[in-house]
Every structure is written in C-alpha cells, then in structure tokens.
Amino acid sequence: MNELNLSRRDLLRRTGMGMPMLAMAALEAAETPAGIKAVNPLAPKPPHFPAKAKHVVHLFMNGGPSHVDTFDPKPLLDKYHGKPLPTSNLRTERKTGAAMRSPFSFAKYGESGLEVSDLFKRTASWHADKLCVIRSIHADVPNHEPSLMLMNCGDSRLPRPSFGSWATYGLGTENQNLPGFVAMCPGGYPIVAAQNWRSAFLPGAYQGTYLNTELKDPEKLVENLRNGKLGPAEQRKQLDLLQRWNRRHRESQGDDALLEARIQSFELAYRMQSEAADVFDLSREPAWLRELYGDTTIGRQLLMTRRMIERGVRFVQVWSGAGQPWDNHDNLEKQHRDLSNQWDGPIAAFLLDLDQRGLLSETLVLWGGEFGRTPVAELPALNGRDHNHYGFSVWLAGGGVKGGQAYGATDEFGFAAQEKPVHVHDLHATMLHLLGIDHERLTYRYAGRDFRLTDIHGRVVHDWIT
C-alpha cells in the first residue's frame, strides 16, 4: 500500500461512509503551489459537528486513586469503621475485611458546594465550580492491566488503538511542528508500558509520543531532536540541498504526491527541532508562574502541557509516575497524602493558567485512574484499600463541561455505582462528542470490521455538557 492509496482509496475505504468529511479533508490537506495533494496523516480535519473542545488533557492517576478519600464522601464509613459492612463485600482482587473510614476530611467548596476531601483542597477551593465529578463510573474488572487498557483503548484485552490515537486520527492536530499526541510519564513506563498510548491497527503516525519527564533537558525529552555533529545552520544547508534533489526527483516522476509528502515531512521535522525544544523550555515562563505550578516533576509536566496546548497539540496524557503510584494497598493515608501533595497544587495552577489564557474553554481535562478503591480495608491491617471497578470517581473540566456538579452516586458505602451508573465507554463517547465527533461514526476498517473506540457500546451523557 502506498501513500497515494492511503489518501484516495484507503482512507475512503477505511473510514467507510462514517467519516466522509474527515476523509475529504485529509485529501485536501497540504495543497502545494504545484497543485499536488500531499497527504499528511496529521493534517487538521474538521469534526462531525461543531466541537466544544479542541484539546484533551488526561491526568492519569495510575494505580487507582481512592474515590472515598477524594471526591466521593461516605460518612457512613466512620460509623462502621473497623466493623464489617452490613452488606457483604463485593469480590475484588484481594480479600477485604472491615470498613475503613477515610483518614481525610471532606468540605464543601464553591457556590456549588461540591464536596471534596482535603487531598485536593486547593483544586477544589479554586475550581470546584468548574469540575464535573462523575461519581458513578464503573469498569469491568478490578485488575490493573485490563482496566488500563479499557480506560485508554476502550477494550480490556484485545489490541485496540488508544483514545489519543483515535482523536488524532479523527481530527489531526493543529500544530505540525509538534507531535499531535504526547504521553508524559516521569522515570519510566506505567504498567503495560507503551500499549497505553498505542495506535494498534491505526497507522503509526497516530501513536503517542512518549516523554520521560524526569529528564529536564528539553533537547533530551524528544528523541532525535538534535544532530550531535551538525549545527542548525549546517543542517539547514543540508536540507536545502536535499529538498532541491527531492523536488527534482519528484518532477521526474510525474509529480507524485507520495514524494511531495516526504518532502514536506522534512520541513516539518526541521521546524519541530526548534519548536519542540522551545515548548519544553520552561525557563521562558515567568518565575512566579513556575512557582505557582511548583518546581516538581508534576508541576513541570503540567506547565509543559499548557505550553503544548497553547501551541495546538491535540492530546496530552500526563501520568503520575512509572509503575502504579496510586495503588495503595497499605499505608494509604501517607501515600495518598504524598501523591496528592504532588498533584493538588499543580492542577489548581494548571486550570487557573488555562482559564486565564482562554484555553480552558477549548480544552477538555479528565482526571482519574483506571478504577477506584474499596471502602473496606484490605486484610489484615486496616490501612489500605483494594482495587474497585464497581464504582469510582473521575472528573471532567473545561471545554463544554457543565461544572460544579457531582453526577450520579455510588451506594451508601461507595462500593458500586448505583445512581445513574455510567461505563467507561460512556465517558469515551461523551468526550468524543465534546470534540465534535460522533463516536459511532469515527471508524476504521480493520479485519473486516469497522472498529470504534467505543466498540458496540457508549452513550453520550448530555447532563455533563453545557
């Protein structure tokens, strides 16, 4: 299959009748003076209908933050602390015992009076009325690997493209000098590694670009950003001659669009070298702002995220750390406290910063893990919680999100979603909707089927949308 086919035949074929607009847009992208249609798979494409958000930032609390300790207060747990629940415990990965009260205190914030624990006190005090906390989301199983896959790729087991890949496939990206989909994780990979941001059967151009944000040197963050020997001026000269040759070669070949696409990719790459280095260079931000975000890994990640969003990157995923930091089977009080100390301030600063720049209204922010945790303690000690997929909390903020609300509810102890339950597929469908995409029409033909992020599921939850 060659590029020409990818453009005219393949794109149309694969996108089926579901996305004529997108397919057409891709074909028209990057028209050159010579009138040759070179296809850039990441060229921006119009959505199905007017979008409320253009970018997505996914703050991934990998390991599974406890909802009953953060965004879903359960006062009854105080009463039953140390005692078995009157209802039997739902089966989760490990054996659980008695109820465990939250070691953190909840308070009401904002005009909406949204209840949040002191773990996210600053975020709540500054932004409660912007948050749409979904307290009734549920997933399929209480194991990390399948739940990460479900949250990221919409399927627990089989190789499917990630949300960020679908989003960049459907919408392209606005800044061709930067990757369209970035996944940041300090110090290594989360569980199941790069599968979390894979493009699976979609072309490789839609995979997430991984950044190890532990590295502070912006030039080292992105691979192959610098040539060790040639300086920018020499490299420009090299490219000038390269492009002259390439153009001559193209002309000798009936002006093939494939050749033009590759010519353009070098220009983009050259610009990316300077723009990527620039976007990660936080020294260009004022000191007070850097201080507000905090000079920590998470703070720097979020400031970089804002700089990317500002420049038109489509999808940024920010992970808590390698492995599964929020997986606190024991010693939850200290560990959750430490983690929220890392995140609360930076999130508050990030939302504020986005808002002040007018970016929050076009950026959809998702906070959450792959699942929540049990209201009962893991045996034998009474200081940690097991995984819980039956019900947990995530929140949305930003573009098109109706803030200041807690949607749905878990049961009185926080074990399972009870009131207005929503599945992870529904979250995906709604987020795509906010991006202007009908989740049933964003399809890709593979192995005889038109695949979707939401498979055969997913409902848009209009209550979350302004």
Partner 1 sequence: MRFDRLSRLIAPVFLTLTIAACGPFDVRGDEAADFFEARIRPVLVKECQGCHGAEDPEAGLSLLTRESLLKGGEQGPAAVPGQPGESLILTAIEHRDGMKMPPKGKRLDQHTIDDFRRWIASGLAFPASNRPAAGLEAKAAVADHWAFLPLKKAEPGFAQDDPAMIDHWIEREIRKQGLRPTPAAERFKLIRRATLALHGLPPTPDEVDRFVADTGTDEAAFDRLVTRLLASPRFGERWARHWLDLARYSDTKGYVFFEESDFPWSYTYRDYVIRSFSEDKPYDRFVKEQIAADRLTDGPGGRENLAALGFLTLGNRYMNNPHDIIDDRIDVVTRPLLGLSVTCARCHDHKFDPIASEDYYALYGIFANSVEPLLPPELGPAGTDEAARKIAGEIAAAQANLRNFVESKYDELVEKARRRAGDYLLAAETSRRAPKTDDFMLIADGDDLNPTLITQWRAFLEKSRKKEMRVMRTWNACADAAEAEFSQTLARHLGEETNPILKAAIVDRSPANLAELAQAYGESMRKAYFVWREFRERGFAAGSGEPIRHEDPFVEELRQVLDGPDSPVRVVRNPMGDLTLLPDRASQAELKKRIDAFEKARRAKGAPVRAQMLTDRPTAVETRLFVRGNPQNEGKEVERRFLSMFEGTLPKVEVPPGQSGRLQIAEAVANPANPLTARVYVNRVWHILFGRGLVATPGDFGIRGEPPSHPELLDALALDFMKSGWSTKQLIRRIMLSQTYRRSTLPPGSSEALANDPRDQYLAWSPIRRSDYETMRDSALYVSGLLDMTVGGPSSGSAIDASFRRRAIYGRIDRLNLPEQLRTFDFPEANALAVERASTSTPGQALFLMNHPLLRVCAEGLVQRSAGEGSADDSAMASRMARLAWQRSPSSAELAEISEFLTTIPGDGRERLIALAQLFLMSNEFHFTD
395-454 residues near partner 1, rule: CB under 8 A = 416, 440, 446-449
What is the separation of C-alpha 165 from the centre of its chain, rounded to a whole number of angstroms? Answer: 10
Q: Which stretch binds partner 1 (CB under 8 A): 49-57, 140-148, 301-309, 350-358?
A: 140-148
Segment near partner 1 (CB under 8 A); pick from 77-85, 234-242, 286-294, 336-344: 234-242
φ/ψ of 395, rounded to 5, equals -130, 155
Q: Which of residues 126 and 201 has its CB atom nearest to partner 1 in the complex?
A: 201
Give the residue with the Cβ less far from partner 1, 222 or 453.
Answer: 222
Choose one: 71-79, 106-114, 238-246, 316-324; the region binding partner 1 (CB under 8 A). Answer: 238-246
For residue 44, the tally of other CB atoms under 10 A from its CB is 18
What is the nearest approach in angstroms of partner 1 to the Cβ of residue 450? 9
Which one, 9 or 357, has the nearer CB to partner 1?
9
- Single out the residue of 103, 101, 104 nearest to residue 121, CA to CA: 104
**Residue 274 in the binding site for partner 1 (CB under 8 A):** no
**Shortest distance in whole angstroms from residue 183 CB to partner 1:** 10
Is 311 near partner 1 (CB under 8 A)?
A: no
Is residue 217 close enough to count as binding partner 1 by CB under 8 A?
no
- Tokens for 203? 């072309």
Q: Tokens 């953060």 correspond to what residue?
A: 70
Q: How far apart, in whole angstroms, are the C-alpha atoms of residue 158 and residue 335? A: 32
Taking CB under 8 A as the criterion, the residue among 69, 72, 256, 370 binding partner 1 is 256
The residue within the footprint of partner 1, chosen from 201, 285, 355, 409 (CB under 8 A), is 201
Instruction: Count interface residues toward partner 1 (CB under 8 A).
Output: 106
Per-residue DSSP letter, 37: B
Give the max Cα distance, the chain: 81
x/- track of binding to partner 1 for residues 180-199 (CB under 8 A)? ---------x--xxxx--xx
Q: How far is the CB of 200 from partner 1 (least distance, A)?
A: 6
**Rule CB under 8 A: is residue 261 a binding residue for partner 1?**
yes
Of 187, 175, 183, the C-alpha closest to 216 is 187
Q: Which of 113, 245, 334, 341 binds partner 1 (CB under 8 A)?
A: 245
Residues 112-131 that bind partner 1 (CB under 8 A): none
Q: Applying CB under 8 A, does 225 fall inside the site for partner 1? A: yes
Secondary structure (3-state) at 355: helix
**Binding residue for partner 1 (CB under 8 A) from 49, 86, 234, 341?**
234
**Number of Cβ within a 10 Å radius of residue 440:** 16
* DSSP assignments along 401-454, one per residue: B--SEEESEE-TTSSSEEES-EEHHHHHHHHHHHTT--TTT--EEETTEEE-TT
b vs e for 293-320, b when ≥16 Cβ sit within 10 Å of the residue's Cβ?
bbeebbbbbbbbbbbbbbbbbbbbbbbb
Query: In the range 64-123, which residues lie near partner 1 by CB under 8 A?
Result: 88, 90-95
314 binds partner 1 (CB under 8 A): no
Say how many C-beta atoms besides its own lie within 10 A of residue 252's C-beta.
Answer: 10
Prior bond to 380 cis, omega within 30?
yes
* Segment contacting partner 1 by CB under 8 A, of 125-133, 204-212, 295-303, 352-360: 204-212
Note whether 174 binds partner 1 by CB under 8 A.
Answer: no
